[in-house]
A = this chain, B = another copy of it.
């Protein structure tokens, strides 16, 4: 299964940046889940470019058309197909430099893999635009999870060198407030909105220099019961990381303390447990809500490293293809100077798909649409 994610809730995404349409097929959700098209549209809006110097000037309506699997506003239990037509296409921008492979991009690897048959216009299948289908499909999963009191939110933990307040992973109450605050943001998704101005200033500065910047996204998942995930191969970490690395520009992921575990002692890393009515709670959450690959009932917290957009306007050394030889590239086109702010909703929606798949594999999808508590 090359371009499909999941064992029970399965997502296939398709499309090329300058082809007729991009989209997704989401299969495996149970019948009877409400599908709110305005909620899908709201998620698409968070992902949308604004052409404001912070994101690409290619702005599109990104209207999602539901071709199958939804009837009378609910899932039917059959594959849900979503398409988004491509509209604001300016392939001419790319033709000028089509033979010059863009460093940091998939131009060279696409040639190596597809031997020249790829649709290279606008990055083709490697364009961030392909995440439009992922976002639309993930929005449906996100709704389904929210109905079972499972919430997911992502903020700009760090962007262009400026940090937001981190998630309070060990305090479910404070974390809930932080997640609520992020969802209220009309601009960048932040816990501390005062960081926005500095981030935007740094992004604009990089953009003005023909350069780009990166960041770190932090995602929290709350309400997931203990006992989800598998000990090997289909652990919560494996499932989420498998999905997260499908978001273009993600180059690292860490759960809980992550790389900070390296220098910690076991006595600093273990999370003490206390008994509460009929289950355990953890007084800290260094493990990010996961032990042995399985959720422990605490919030799942992970961070991903987002590399700076490779499309920069500074001259770069590159090669010609397929004729060979060296060349200097002076890029044309419309590009984001920082992809991290738009990627936040993609990561939230991607995580929702992974969580739905984990739940449906472990507990059966019917659980998602019944009043039953998890087994």
Cross-chain pairs A/B with CB under 8 angstroms, 25 sampled? A1-B27, A2-B27, A3-B232, A7-B7, A13-B79, A14-B69, A20-B66, A20-B68, A31-B117, A78-B124, A103-B273, A109-B229, A109-B292, A109-B293, A161-B263, A213-B265, A241-B242, A266-B308, A267-B312, A267-B314, A269-B308, A275-B319, A287-B307, A364-B367, A370-B375
Contacts of A187 in B (CB 8 A): none
User: If the complex has contacts A1-B4, A307-B257, are A317 and B230 also in contact, measured as CB distance less than 8 A?
Assistant: no
Contacts of A216 in B (CB 8 A): 259, 262
- Verify if A45 is at the interface (C-beta below 8 Å from B): no
Closest-by-CB residue of B relative to A159 is B262
- Verify if A154 is at the interface (C-beta below 8 Å from B): no
Mask, A253-284, CB within 8 Å of B = 1, is 11111111111111111111111001110110
* Stretch of A138-146, A175-183, A320-328 on the interface side: A320-328
* Stretch of A52-60, A164-172, A244-252 on the interface side: A244-252
Min CB–CB distance A40 → chain B (angstroms): 16
- Docked Cα-Cα span, A228 to B366, in Å, equals 13
User: If the complex has contacts A104-B287, A245-B235, are A119 and B71 also in contact, measured as CB distance less than 8 A?
Assistant: yes
User: If the complex has contacts A2-B27, A117-B71, are A104 and B266 also in contact, measured as CB distance less than 8 A?
Assistant: yes
CB pair A266–B312 under 8 Å, yes or no, is yes
- Verify if A214 is at the interface (C-beta below 8 Å from B): yes
- Docked Cα-Cα span, A160 to B196, in Å, equals 37
- Verify if A15 is at the interface (C-beta below 8 Å from B): yes
- Verify if A223 is at the interface (C-beta below 8 Å from B): no
- Verify if A137 is at the interface (C-beta below 8 Å from B): no
Partner of A2, one of B28, B126, B253, B279: B28
Contacts of A126 in B (CB 8 A): 231, 292
CB neighbors of B among A59-82 (8 A): 65-69, 71, 74-81
Closest-by-CB residue of B relative to A80 is B14
CB pair A113–B294 under 8 Å, yes or no, is yes
CB pair A317–B273 under 8 Å, yes or no, is yes
Partner of A27, one of B3, B75, B254: B3
User: If the complex has contacts A238-B241, A261-B305, A265-B308, are A117 and B74 also in contact, measured as CB distance less than 8 A?
Assistant: yes
Partner of A21, one of B68, B238, B282: B68
CB pair A16–B71 under 8 Å, yes or no, is yes
CB pair B266–A310 under 8 Å, yes or no, is yes
